[in-house]
Amino acid sequence: MQSVLDNRPSLKAEIDKVAEVALYLWQKGWAERNGGNITINITEFVDDGMRSMLAITEPRPIGTTLPHLKGTWFYCKGTNRRMRDLARYPMDNGSIIRILPDCAHYEIVADKPVAPTSELPSHLGVHNYLIAKGSPYKASVHTHPIELVAMTHSKHFMEKDVATNLLWSMIPETKAFCPRGLGMVPYMLPSSVELGEATIRTIDEGYDVVMWEKHGVFAVDTDVMAAFDQIDVLNKSALIYIAAKGMGFEPDGMTAAQMQEMSVAFHLPK
Ligand code: 13P
Ligand code: ZN
């Protein structure tokens, strides 16, 4: 079976990274059934051969109009597809779409007519925002990390930057490698345009990683591996917190002065 990835090594390398991250999400227990989704902006890898390809589906509505997505292309996890299957067969469990000139519809171009994730409004809305800002970020990852989701069942941790400061204080690397912290979005219906809009507002407040209350996390970064890393360091901190609580004590956490010292030494934004 021919694939659009044949003879396109740079594009294939990006899709391979998505497959690698999908395996990690499954191995971590963050991707039950079809849980989670990944999209990447692949426009920079699109050549004339791809541009001349016919669509394999009719145009479908995005559900909103996203003017900055004119001429852009994305790889998207398929809705109802498993991360553990995508890890082995990324082009059977995801597809490549292009945005139509009206910026309100997309069509699937390759390899198979796998309908994109139900969280497409959040993913494409965020990509539209990132392009408008001139951001170098190309990847967005939504997943269900157990310990971070558990924290959102506490009203206290849903308050602005309470979880951020706690998680940063568990181990220095978390502030270094998730330097913008964890934004919080109150519970909203999965896959809704409102959830997408709230996610964009929270990213715009200065976060790369956004928590969806009682649901999951949504992270953006330059590529899929970097987005995964930000979630991974945050969840590591949550595990350290839980380990300390399990040993029967409230962890002290690094002091405010120690965290400030990190910001200065590593030129962190916060
Ligand atoms: P999809 O299978 O449509 O990607 O949905 C998974 C999910 O996690 C929804 O929030
Ligand atoms: Zn989800």
- 1 Cα: distance to centroid of ligand 2 (angstroms): 31
What number is the average pLDDT over the span 216-226?
A: 98
Task: Please identify which residue in the block is written with the tokens 């990324």.
Answer: 90
Q: pLDDT tens for residues 164-192?
A: 999 999 999 999 999 999 999 999 999 99
Sequence-ordered list of residues with C-beta below 8 angstroms from that of 32, at least 6 positions apart, any chain: 144
Q: Which of the listed residues 79, 118, 146, 195 should we mutate to test ligand 1's pocket, taking the one with most ligand atoms within 8 A of CB?
A: 118
- 120 Cα: distance to centroid of ligand 1 (angstroms): 9
- 263 Cα: distance to centroid of ligand 2 (angstroms): 32
Mean pLDDT of the chain: 98
115 Cβ below 6 A of ligand 1: no
- 248 Cα: distance to centroid of ligand 2 (angstroms): 32
Catalytic residue (choose from 32, 119, 147, 250): 119
Q: Is a pLDDT exceeding 90 seen at residue 240?
A: yes
**CA torsion sign, 32 to 36 to 58 to 62?**
positive
Q: What is the dihedral of CA 42, 268, 245, 28, to 10 degrees?
A: 20
Query: Which class does domain 9-265 fall in?
Result: alpha beta
Q: Is a pLDDT exceeding 90 seen at residue 24?
A: yes
114 alpha carbon, closest ligand: 1
Provide the 10 A C-beta neighbour count for residue 61.
Answer: 11
33 Cβ below 6 A of ligand 1: no
Do residues 26 and 78 lie in contact, with contact meaning Cβ atoms separated by under 8 Å? no
79 Cβ below 6 A of ligand 1: yes
192 Cβ below 6 A of ligand 1: no
Strands 94-99 and 216-221: unpaired
Do residues 238 and 30 lie in contact, with contact meaning Cβ atoms separated by under 8 Å? no
Q: Is 194 a catalytic residue?
A: no
What number is the average pLDDT over the span 219-237?
A: 98
Q: pLDDT tens for residues 58-92?
A: 999 999 999 999 999 999 999 999 999 999 999 99
Distance CA 37, CA 228 (A): 12
- Locate the domains of the chain by residue range: 9-265
What number is the average pLDDT over the span 21-43?
A: 98
What number is the average pLDDT over the span 14-30?
A: 99
Q: Order of strands across the sheet with 60-61? A: 60-61, 105-110, 94-99, 73-77, 37-41, 139-143, 216-221, 209-212, 182-185
- 210 Cα: distance to centroid of ligand 2 (angstroms): 13
Atom of ligand 1 nearest to the CA of 143: 8
From residue 224, alpha-carbon distances to 135, 148, 158, 228 in Å are 15, 19, 26, 6
Of the candidates 239, 226, 242, 241, which has an alpha carbon nearest to the alpha carbon of residue 177? 226
Q: Which of the listed residues 39, 82, 191 should we mutate to test ligand 1's pocket, taking the one with most ligand atoms within 8 A of CB?
A: 191
